[in-house]
A = this chain, B = another copy of it.
Amino acid sequence: MKIKTVSLSLFLVLFILGKPPAVSAQNNAKSLAEKLGFPRDAKLLIVHADDVGMTHSVNAATIKALESGNVNSASIMVPCPWFPEIAEYAKSHPDVDFGLHLTLTSERVYYRWGPVASKDEVPSLVDANGYFHHDWTATTPINPKEAELELRAQIDRAHRMGIHPTHLDSHQYRLIDNGKELFEAFLRVAHDYKLPVFVTRDWFADHLYLESSLTPTDIVLDHTITISPAVPPEKWTDFYRTALKNLQPGVTEFVIHLAFADDEMKAATLERDTWGAAWRQRDFDFFRSQGFRELLREENIKLVTWRELARAAGQ
């Protein structure tokens, strides 16, 4: 989880050093903002809730936040037990900007899930009990062919159950952080299904294969921001206020994690506080607040969705 654990101080340095949106890793004169019909220096934001389908609590909080209008995009974990509940919602709310949060890990201890594909077909992805690995280590040699098969199985189940996703992203950034082969499998699947993947120029320096694997038609976001364990609970609002006040021109995705701090979510995340029930309740509270809405207006930040991005990019 390298990307998620960027510390607060490093994060502030990134703000200071933040470059304006690049014109052309994509051999294309127009910036993403311009393709969307905004001026080059417009501040555009996707407020994106991850992990939908993980628990009922995540589903209920995300639906509430999406319906408030302050959160405008989200992505769904197809292998998770509560996937059918959110699939039903997505099917009956086809305008909501739902992507698929492609998932190859089961990172909790007391509540777990496994692959959509047959376990026999993806042995490198599962532990001795048939769940996705809790974590990937040096002794977890993930087979990219098996990963690709599982990604396709997840998208196929989503389609069968009535979801028409607007984008793809990767749970815990596993398909971003773990080498060229996995990223290329991710990209190949995305191209086959004609869906944009969440990737940002912020990551290019850390993983050279990202930029070199992308094609000129792939959408690349300018920036992404996510809160980290280095931020203490009492600084939650400060973090987001600072982030919004320092938002760079171009398209930024806020990656947030919503749930209620209820019995289910507390039990599901009992073993550690990071991305736990209280964390997710804090995100829910901030992004549902009047203060967040006012900051967007004060800073002249416009919300955009993956559906709009894909349309603007001609996908």
Contact = CB atoms under 8 A, between A and B. Distances in A.
A6 to B, nearest CB: 30
Given A121-B120, A262-B263, A111 B85 contact: yes
Interface size class on chain A is 20 to 34
A88 interface: yes
B119 A56 contact: no
Interface in A239-286: 260, 262-264, 267-268
A297 interface: no
A312 interface: no
Interface string A126-139: 00111000000000
A112 interface: yes
Contacts of A117: 119
A84 B282 CA distance: 27
Interface of A: 55-57, 59-60, 81-85, 88, 109-113, 116-121, 128-130, 157, 160-161, 260, 262-264, 267-268
19 contacts: A56-B111, A56-B267, A57-B264, A59-B267, A81-B81, A81-B111, A81-B112, A84-B110, A84-B111, A85-B111, A85-B267, A88-B110, A116-B130, A117-B119, A120-B120, A120-B121, A129-B161, A262-B263, A264-B264
